[in-house]
Amino acid sequence: MADRPDNSAFDGSNKPQLALHVPEPKYRPGDTVDFTDLNVPPAGEQARPDETCDPKETAPLCHDLVRVLGDDDKAHGPWDPKLSPDVLRTMLGHFATVRAFDERMFRGQRQGKTSFYMKCTGEEATSVSAAMALASDDMVFPSYRQQGVLIARGYPLIEMINQIYSNKGDKLKGRQLPIMYSSREHSFFSISGNLATQTPQAVGWAMASAIKGDSRIAATWLGEGSTAEGDFHSACTFAAVYNAPVILNVINNQWAISSFSGFAGAERTTFAARALGYGLAGLRVDGNDPLAVYASQKWAADRARANAGPTLIEYFTYRAEGHSTSDDPSGYRSAQEREEWPLGDPVMRLKRHLIALGEWDEDRQAEMDENAATHVKQTTKEAEKNGILGHGLHHPFRTMFEDVFEELPWHLKEQAEQAVHEREVKFPEGLPNR
């Protein structure tokens, strides 16, 4: 929509009329997509300041794009993390698991086994590669698209599936939306559906870690759309003021359900550049380049561990699929965007890099993908024994009143009794789970 002055209040004077700008995405369904005006700098050309540098030194990097993997599939420049082929193959293995998991869970939702699922297709590096650069006991405060963090940390797939199916094996007892995992043992903070709430929590946890003289740092992830929430800005202020040992990862996949990134301010400046106003170190990174993601996360982690301060990282990527199983992106964006997206696919890029190194081949890749699919399939079958959506094998109804208070207060006791009574009236034949 063009900027149009609203003439309804025009008073006839010759004062300049004000016009409201309402952002509009460049491409809508059916449009031809052209990304040639997108500035994609060559890999390896971005400077790498010292981890303990003054935040101001990162200013140029907030408008650039840190890239390591070039069009020749080789690693270039000072950000090359120089990972061993074994570590690269481990990363590729996690990618394969995440992709196989996403495929099967998406299908499970279509088959009615769960009510909801969210894929991270195209964004795998922003969680897997980042998690691999952190220590396993660093506390992570993810959003809902970081299944790759749990998988990289070795969280059992069956626990994830039990949670998605809200079955009797679900450790969260059906109290969370499917995919909103939580694992204290894996230093993975409970996911919240209220966008951006995890960001001040991460900063607060990092501050507490510093107060206690601990050595663990915190990292959080949020979507670019969620940066429009006030919580994110409070988090940035606290992080800067107290020099909290925290990493704020903004995953700019350019869409927030059907709202494009312009509604979160992308037309004006980059998300990394938000760092500058707060006095945080900032990096803008090719989010589909697994080596650049690893290197930048490691840089920020080392910076936080050295008490040199927090970092805001924008991972520039593209949400290749729908927002969730409840979404149909063909209604609001051009299907060509995914095809024309110039930063490619992180899984293919890492695979081609390993092949270019002489450390991998297509046959081994096919075997890896097949093994991942089989592992996920078998684990899914195992989890289904604990129940799927609507099969009654969930936690007993009355348990929803438990675990919050040591001693259930009288008014909740009353509610619990009333709820059980109402179910008896509604289902006089009885229910398998009381």
Ligand X SMILES: Cc1ncc(C[n+]2csc(CCOP(=O)(O)OP(=O)(O)O)c2C)c(N)n1
> What residues have CB less than 8 Å from 36, skipping those under 6 apart?
none
Q: How many residues does the chain have?
A: 434
323, interface contact from ligand X, Mg ion, none, CB < 5-8 Å by kind: ligand X
Query: Which of 179, 202, 246, 256 touches Mg ion by CB under 5 A?
Result: 256
- Least gap, CB of 181 to ligand X (angstroms): 16
289, interface contact from Mg ion, ligand X, none, CB < 5-8 Å by kind: none
Query: Which two structure tokens, joined as six digits, stand for 52?
Result: 């303990």
Per-residue binder mask for Mg ion (CB under 5 A), 145-184, x = binder: ----------------------------------------
Residue 138 or 224 with smaller CB distance to Mg ion = 224
Residues 78 and 217: their CA atoms lie apart, in Å, by 24
- Least gap, CB of 343 to ligand X (angstroms): 16
The stretch among 5-13, 99-107, 246-254, 424-432 that binds Mg ion (CB under 5 A) is 246-254
Cβ-count burial of 218 within 10 angstroms (0-12 exposed, 13-18 middle, 19+ buried)? Answer: buried
Kindly state the helix (H) or strand (E) to which residue 102 belongs, with its residue range: helix 85-110
Cα dihedral: 312, 318, 324, 325 (round 10) = -160
Token look-up 């010759």 returns 14
226, interface contact from ligand X, Mg ion, none, CB < 5-8 Å by kind: ligand X
Give Dmax over CA atoms of the chain in angstroms.
77
Question: Which residues sit opposite 312 in a β-bridge?
Answer: 248, 282
Query: With binding defined as CB under 5 A, does residue 253 bind Mg ion?
Result: yes
- The Cβ-side half-sphere exposure at 138, using a 13 Å CA radius, reads 26
> What residues have CB less than 8 Å from 389, skipping those under 6 apart?
112, 113, 114, 115, 165, 166
Residue 256 or 383 with smaller CB distance to Mg ion = 256
* Cβ-closest position to Mg ion: 223
Residues 188-217 that bind Mg ion (CB under 5 A): none
Residue 33 or 257 with smaller CB distance to ligand X = 257
Q: Tell me, by CB under 5 A, how many residues bind Mg ion.
A: 5
Calculate the alpha carbon distances from 404 to 26, 89, 264, 398 in Å: 48, 43, 36, 13
Residue 118 or 247 with smaller CB distance to ligand X = 118
- Least gap, CB of 193 to ligand X (angstroms): 5
113, interface contact from Mg ion, ligand X, none, CB < 5-8 Å by kind: none
Q: Which residues contact ligand X (rule: CB under 6 A)?
A: 145, 193-195, 223-226, 229, 251, 253, 255-257, 319, 323
- Least gap, CB of 297 to ligand X (angstroms): 18
145, interface contact from ligand X, Mg ion, none, CB < 5-8 Å by kind: ligand X
* Cβ-closest position to ligand X: 223
Residues 18 and 236: their CA atoms lie apart, in Å, by 32
Residue 192 or 379 with smaller CB distance to ligand X = 192
- Least gap, CB of 222 to Mg ion (angstroms): 9
The stretch among 116-124, 152-160, 224-232, 268-276 that binds Mg ion (CB under 5 A) is 224-232
Query: Are the C-beta atoms of 126 and 249 separated by less than 8 Å?
Result: yes
Cα dihedral: 410, 411, 416, 418 (round 10) = 120
Query: With binding defined as CB under 5 A, does residue 70 bind Mg ion?
Result: no
322, interface contact from Mg ion, ligand X, none, CB < 5-8 Å by kind: none
Query: With binding defined as CB under 5 A, does residue 122 bind Mg ion?
Result: no
Query: With binding defined as CB under 5 A, does residue 223 bind Mg ion?
Result: yes
Residues 431 and 434: their CA atoms lie apart, in Å, by 6
Cα dihedral: 296, 299, 303, 306 (round 10) = 150
32, interface contact from Mg ion, ligand X, none, CB < 5-8 Å by kind: none
Residues 363 and 187: their CA atoms lie apart, in Å, by 36
Of 230, 200, 159, 229, the closest CA to residue 380 belongs to 159
| Binding-site ranges for Mg ion (CB under 5 A) | 223-225, 253, 256
